[in-house]
């Protein structure tokens, strides 16, 4: 039996490593060795215990091998489950990465939308094109990368366009420059943009240009330099917002102009003139400066209306207003006061100067022939003058005194200039003035 035990151990080791041929060979060798050993002892397997020993010696390596096989199969199942879990985790990891990327994209999109909202919000407060441009360039660097921006405002047509420019500074912000008339190249670019439509176009110089509006009705153009190709769509969105805001500013300015100016003559309306005159008189008092009010009336205007018709009368009124306005300074104020009456405020003008100016205006109208349709008509004017501080201390008193001086000029024979207090009645209001001047 000393030989059987080593052979059986070899069979057991074969069962542990699960080499089937080794288990079979070792088991068979163990059984044969056991039989030989038992035969040598002459027992010849006569006892059940001997049979049990023989069976145990032959079967135990196979049991060990079977147990190892079971463990190996279980290990494979566990490895398969772990592999499936690893694959699942990898898939979840890829999904999580994709969601993170999508979340970052959404956050970037939300940031862009927020900035676009701020573009609309901030520019929506602007009431002038300069203010609109200033507000826009504060937000544009958050949305796109540009080196230069030019906004060409063509509300009055290409011939009256204004260019607002901004350049990128060392801090990355856009700094505005003073607006100016467009160069010949910019005017040519504006015409090309207005004719080309709303799609952005990049020229050979690397300038991306886009119309602010649709076609020839566009209120202007946007020119940017240094714009990356990937940000072109964002520029279109910004341009659309600026186009809406620019159109709104133009509409506001139109409404404001209509509220401040007379639709026929283009002069200031009476109410707005009174507001400006009050401010100017306050300034004159503060700095102790003189000023003068001129009340101007067209002589015999009613008879011309009756003779030639109201269309000719409108032309006479408009041309007379134009002639007077173009012979005044930019700082002087002029408004349509009544039907054929005008009122003028000469800023920082002494009485002697005011009389000279009034006389010059009278002579210009007297010597100018106004062409109204098929008629060539000469129109004279009468002017009353009242000066601050000698003739009054407030706007109402100065206008009243200028009106009284005008009445004196009418009474003196028309086509004359009279200063208040130097001719004709100087008393208070004349209740019969309107009747006296009816048809004058």
Q: How far is CA 135 from CA 85, 242, 375, in A?
A: 56, 11, 52
pLDDT-based confidence at residue 28 (cuts at 50, 70, 90):
low
Q: Which residues pair with 202 in a beta bridge?
A: 208
Nearest alpha carbon to residue 176 among 191, 190, 164: 164
Distance CA 181, CA 162 (A): 5
Structure token pair of residue 318: 């408009």
Measuring CA to CA, which residue among 375, 368, 372 is closest to residue 315? 372
pLDDT band at 202 (very low <50, low <70, confident <90, very high): confident
Calpha distance 382→419 (Å, rounded): 11
The DSSP annotation for 233-266 comes to: HHHHHHHHHHHHHHHHHHHHHHHHHHHHB-TTT-
How many angstroms separate the CA atoms of 285 and 146, rounded?
A: 50
Q: pLDDT tens-digit profile of 361-389?
A: 999 999 999 988 888 888 999 999 999 99
- CATH class belonging to 129-260: alpha beta
Find the mean pLDDT for residues 236-263. Answer: 82
In the chain, what percentage of residues exceed pLDDT 70? 78
Q: What is the number of other CB atoms lying within 10 angstroms of the CB of residue 178?
A: 7
Mean per-residue pLDDT, 56-63: 64
* pLDDT at residue 58 tops 70: no
Residue 256 and residue 127: Cα distance in Å, rounded?
Answer: 10
Residue with the bigger pLDDT between 11 and 273: it is 273
| Calpha distance 101→90 (Å, rounded) | 16
CATH code for the structural domain at 270-436: 3.30.70.270
- Beta-bridged to residue 292, according to DSSP, are 346, 387
* % of residues, the chain, pLDDT over 90: 31
Say if residue 397's pLDDT is above 90.
yes
Per-residue burial over 340-352, b if 16 or more Cβ lie within 10 Å, else e, is: bbbbbbbbbbebe
Question: What is the rounded average pLDDT for all residues in the chain?
Answer: 81
Is residue 356's pLDDT more than 90? yes
Rounded mean pLDDT, 255-278: 86
Contact yes or no for 199/180 (Cβ under 8 A):
no
Euclidean distance between CA atoms 360 and 433, whole angstroms: 26
pTM above 0.85, yes or no: no
Q: What is the DSSP letter of 267?
A: P
| For range 105-118, the mean pLDDT | 78
- For tokens 């145990």, the residue is 56
Q: What is the pLDDT of residue 431?
A: 33
SS3 (DSSP) at 70: helix
Ranked by mean pLDDT, the top range of 129-138, 235-244, 329-338 is: 329-338
166 in Cβ contact with 180 (< 8 Å): no
CB 418 within 8 A of CB 408: yes
Task: Report which of 250, 273, 248, 291 is spatially closest to residue 390, judged by C-alpha positions.
Answer: 291
Q: What is the DSSP letter of 180?
A: B
Residues 171, 67: Cα–Cα separation, whole Å: 76
């Amino acid at each position: 039996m000393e030989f059987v035990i080593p052979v059986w151990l070899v069979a057991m080791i074969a069962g542990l490593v699960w080499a089937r041929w080794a288990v079979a060979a070792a088991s068979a060798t163990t059984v044969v060795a056991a039989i030989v050993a038992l035969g040598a002892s002459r027992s010849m397997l006569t006892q059940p215990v001997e049979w049990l020993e023989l069976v145990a010696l032959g079967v135990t390596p196979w049991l060990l091998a079977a147990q190892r096989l079971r463990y190996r199969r279980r290990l494979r199942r566990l490895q398969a489950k772990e592999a499936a879990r690893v694959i699942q985790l990898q898939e979840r990891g890829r999904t999580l990465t994709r969601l993170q990327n999508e979340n970052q994209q959404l956050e970037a999109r939300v940031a862009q939308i927020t900035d676009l909202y701020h573009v609309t919000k901030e520019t929506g407060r602007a009431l002038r094109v300069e203010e609109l441009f200033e507000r826009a360039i504060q937000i544009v660097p958050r949305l796109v990368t540009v080196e230069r921006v030019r906004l060409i405002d063509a509300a009055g047509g290409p011939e009256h366009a204004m260019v607002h420019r901004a350049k990128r500074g060392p801090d990355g912000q856009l700094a505005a420059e003073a607006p100016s008339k467009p160069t010949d190249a910019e005017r040519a670019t504006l015409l090309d943009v207005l004719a080309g439509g709303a799609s952005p176009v990049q020229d050979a110089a690397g300038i991306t240009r886009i119309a602010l509006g649709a076609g020839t009705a566009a209120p202007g153009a946007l020119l940017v330099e240094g714009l990356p190709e990937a940000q072109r769509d964002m520029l279109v969105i910004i341009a659309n917002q600026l186009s809406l805001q620019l159109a709104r500013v133009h509409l506001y300015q139109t409404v404001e102009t209509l509220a401040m100016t007379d639709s026929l003559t283009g002069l200031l309306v009476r109410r707005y003139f009174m507001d400006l005159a009050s401010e100017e008189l306050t300034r004159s008092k503060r700095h102790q400066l003189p000023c003068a009010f001129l009340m101007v009336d067209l002589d015999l205007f009613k008879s011309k209306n009756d003779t030639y018709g109201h269309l000719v009368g409108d032309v006479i009124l408009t041309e007379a207003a134009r002639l007077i306005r173009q012979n005044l300074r930019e700082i002087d104020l002029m408004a349509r006061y009544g039907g054929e009456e005008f009122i003028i405020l000469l800023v920082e003008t002494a009485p002697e100067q005011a009389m000279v100016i009034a006389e010059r205006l009278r002579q210009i109208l007297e010597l100018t022939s106004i062409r109204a349709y098929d008629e060539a008509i000469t129109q004279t004017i009468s002017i009353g003058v009242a000066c601050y501080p000698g003739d009054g201390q407030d706007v109402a008193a100065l206008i009243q005194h200028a009106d009284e001086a005008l009445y004196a000029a009418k009474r003196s024979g028309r086509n004359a200039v009279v200063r208040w207090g130097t001719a004709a009645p100087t008393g208070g209001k004349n209740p019969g003035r309107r009747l006296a001047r009816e048809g004058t």
